[in-house]
Amino acid sequence: MNDRPSGDNENKQRFEAEALIHLNTLHRTALRMTKNEGDADDLVQDTYMKAYRFWDKFEEGSNCRAWLFKIMTNLFINDYRAKSRSPQIVDLEDVDDDFLFGHLSALGPADNPEKHFFNKVFDDDVKLAIDELPDDFKIVVVLSFLEGFSYQEIADITDLQIGTVKSRLHRGRKLLQKSLWKYAIKNGFIKEPA
Amino acid sequence: MNCEEALKRLFEVVDKEVTQADKEEILEHLEHCRHCMSRFEFEEVFKTFVSEKACISCDSEKLKNKILFRLDQSRGSSR
């Protein structure tokens, strides 16, 4: 296929320059969404294949990264999650808004428990805490915390109302803080008050 | 602005979703309220902490090659 028409080549070059440069951020989000490398690989590949198929629908000059995340999030929700649906244990016990701050402050200011906490908690614990979030919360947390999308962008990507994005992000934050507090106690970084 | 009003906007501030005018009003409260100030700082540090710990860049080189290969294939088959 060395005699590809030049239009085809041009298209490919434009796709590589505008879409493929976002591969790394899609990849890391796919890893958090699917929780394993094989599925993350497949999800990102399928995302790019779909994006390429609909490349003529992409409005030049609009936000390509957000467009790719929208494709990937939809694929994840409709295909991957349905396929590998393990029962999601939703933590129904509500916690206070200031869960982690309150617990750390209660340990007293003497040895700066906040600093201690942030210095000690492992990268893997943070990843695990995100991985364990129910998907609905995880998606918005990852899009906001890791990818820095705004509420409006997340609403566009997920097809949710902006109010739903905010409340899921709020709940996701609390669940994340609760898990990290549990890990910190389990690993002995923090001594649970008697 | 009182503490309740400030805390209601807490996550919008952390997520940079407030207007400059709102932010200034909230910051004015924080200047006079140590408790709210430390809470706001904590949630900001928490967000940065989570994003930095979870954002370890992954090696996407192999994946890139697979995608390029599949793109080439799909173009080949569509002709």
Q: What band does A67 get if pLDDT is binned at 50, 70 and 90? A: very high
Q: Where are the domains of chain B?
A: 3-77
**A124, containing H or E segment:** helix A123-131
CB contact under 8 A, B53 and A121: yes
Q: Which residues of A46-55 are buried (b: 16+ CB within 10 A; e: fewer)?
A: bbbbebbeee
Is the confidence at residue B31, as pLDDT, over 70? yes
CB contact under 8 A, B39 and A98: yes
B64 interaction partners in chain A (CB closer than 8 Å): 20, 23
Q: What angle do CA A70, A127, A72 make, to 5 degrees?
A: 15
Domains of chain A are 6-83 (1.10.1740.10), 99-186 (1.10.10.10)
The CA–CA distances, whole Å, from A28 to A78, A129, A154, A173, B18 equal: 19, 15, 17, 19, 28
Tell me the nearest-neighbour CA distance from A28 into chain B, angstroms.
6
Cα nearest neighbour of A41 on chain B: B63
B62 contact partners, CB below 8 Å, separation of at least 6:
none
Determine the average pLDDT of the residues in A49-77: 93
Q: What band does B44 get if pLDDT is binned at 50, 70 and 90? A: very high
Average per-residue pLDDT for chain A: 85
Q: Which residues of B30-65 are buried (b: 16+ CB within 10 A; e: fewer)?
A: beebeebeebbebbeebbebbbebbbeebebeebbe
The reply to whether A97 touches chain B by the CB within 8 Å rule is: yes
CB contact under 8 A, B42 and A31: no
CB contact under 8 A, A27 and B63: yes
Reading the block at residue B77, the tokens are 């088959």
Determine the average pLDDT of the residues in B21-35: 92
- The 10s digit of each residue's pLDDT in A110-148 is 556 677 778 878 788 899 999 999 999 999 999 999 999
Interface predicted TM-score (ipTM) of this complex, two decimals? 0.88
A108 interaction partners in chain B (CB closer than 8 Å): none
State CA A26 to chain mean position distance.
10
pTM of the model: 0.88
Q: Which long-range contacts (CB under 8 A, 24 or more apart) does B25-32 make?
A: B25/B1, B26/B1, B28/B1, B29/B1, B29/B2, B29/B3, B29/B5, B30/B6
Q: What is the largest CA-CA distance in chain B?
A: 69
Are residues A132 and A179 in contact, defined by beta-carbon separation less than 8 angstroms? yes
Tell me the nearest-neighbour CA distance from A58 into chain B, angstroms.
17
Are residues A147 and B51 in contact, defined by beta-carbon separation less than 8 angstroms? no
B13 contact partners, CB below 8 Å, separation of at least 6:
B23, B26, B40
Instruction: Please count the residue pairs, one from chain A and one from chain B, whose beta carbons lie less than 8 angstroms apart.
Output: 97
CB contact under 8 A, B54 and A48: no
The CA–CA distances, whole Å, from A13 to A2, A10, A169, B71 equal: 15, 5, 37, 12
